[in-house]
Amino acid sequence: MDDASSSFEITINGTKRHFNVEPWVTLLDLLRERAGLTGTKKGCDHGQCGACTVLVDGQRVNSCLMLAVMQDGKEVTTIEGLAAGNELHPLQRGFIQHDAFQCGYCTPGQICSALGLIREGKADSVDSIREFMSGNLCRCGAYSNIVAAIEQARGQL
């Protein structure tokens, strides 16, 4: 692996995909522009807003601060990978039922982050949810409804 484009494989939402891209392509740009998965959003592009949150090998991360080439052999889960066919994921249902968004731009990142949060076992109280979701900003200010959606979904996973 050297200078020019690199060839590697990433499993995205259960499907192994092959890529050949320059080393400066971020995982976020790879997902959106090379893999055609535009559900993951680019907000600040500096790791401050959390809109780009996906799960890599089960852990929530900021895809805007990761080089795609470094994810060789890893498993990535994006918002597109959560629903089972037409059956929405419990977090997706929770966000709809609790009106946990207005513009919706931060929502894919919020949901992927919430999935990581629940798996980490940190969704057991409102205070803990608020603290451990602090890496996801919502400029519409839907925070209280986001907390309610996560509280509802945590028992359904």
Verify binding: residue 156, another protein, rule CB under 8 A.
Answer: no
Q: Count the Cβ atoms, other than its own, within 10 Å of residue 134.
A: 10
For another protein, the binding residues in 1-60 under the rule CB under 8 A are: 1-3, 6, 22-24, 26, 45-47, 50, 53, 59-60
DSSP 8-state code for residue 87:
B
The tally of CA atoms less than 13 A away on the side-chain side of residue 23 is 5
Verify binding: residue 145, another protein, rule CB under 8 A.
Answer: no
Q: Which of 94, 132, 138, 153 binds another protein (CB under 8 A)?
A: 132
Verify binding: residue 104, another protein, rule CB under 8 A.
Answer: no
Closest CB to another protein among residues 3, 87 = 3
**Which residues are within 8 A (CB) of 79 and not within 5 positions of it... i.e. 6 or more apart?**
39, 40, 54, 108, 111, 112
Q: In terms of C-beta density within 10 A (0-12 exposed, 13-18 middle, 19 or more buried), how is residue 140 classed?
A: middle
Q: How far is the C-alpha of 17 from the C-alpha of 2, rounded, in Å?
A: 21
Verify binding: residue 87, another protein, rule CB under 8 A.
Answer: no
Stretch that binds another protein, among 63-71, 76-84, 88-96, 138-146 (CB under 8 A): 63-71
Q: Are 112 and 78 in contact (CB under 8 A)?
A: yes
Verify binding: residue 153, another protein, rule CB under 8 A.
Answer: no
Question: Which chain residues interact with another protein by CB under 8 A?
Answer: 1-3, 6, 22-24, 26, 45-47, 50, 53, 59-62, 64-67, 69-70, 113, 116-117, 120, 122, 130-136
